[in-house]
Amino acid sequence: MADRIVINGDQVHFQPTFALAVVTVAPGIISGTGKSVAGQPICVEGDEKSVKVIGCPYTTPQFPVPGIGTIQIDKLAIDQLSILTKDQGKKIITRGNGYFMAKFEVLSPATNPPAASTDAMISYPGSGKFITINSKVRAK
């Protein structure tokens, strides 16, 4: 079934729960490198790597004093890449019904001052979805 194509400037929404970490998320913006449709480049496989939301605070149950990290897309869901439609040999990113896999990378760890300890995790898995303004152009 055809789904709406993700285009340059579309928002990327992340869920705030990344495993045990709760992240104060902000939407990301994806940059497209494909051909232009309705005046905007479409997003093709690999463009998901352009999404990085830097400076997001996070905490965990064990570490209540916030740390800081970066959110990015780790892997697209199977229904977020076209099967038949391609642009210059690359699959096209579609909105999809599922959630992509995201990753929160710790830049400055959260802490627990009374115990004088810091979060030892370097990343946490999460998820997100695309919000596209494109209402007409679809890919199979």
38: confidence class by pLDDT, cuts 50, 70, 90: confident
What are the residue ranges spanned by the domains of the chain?
Answer: 3-132
Quickly list DSSP for 12-53.
Answer: EEE-SEETTEEE----EE----S-EETTEEBPBTTGGGG-EE
The model's pLDDT over 79-116, given as tens digits with 9 standing for 90+, comes to 999 999 999 999 999 999 999 999 999 999 999 998 88
pTM: 0.93
pLDDT of residue 1: 63
Helix, strand, or coil here: 54?
strand
The model's pLDDT over 43-71, given as tens digits with 9 standing for 90+, comes to 999 999 999 999 999 999 999 999 999 99
The model's pLDDT over 7-36, given as tens digits with 9 standing for 90+, comes to 999 999 999 999 999 999 999 999 999 999
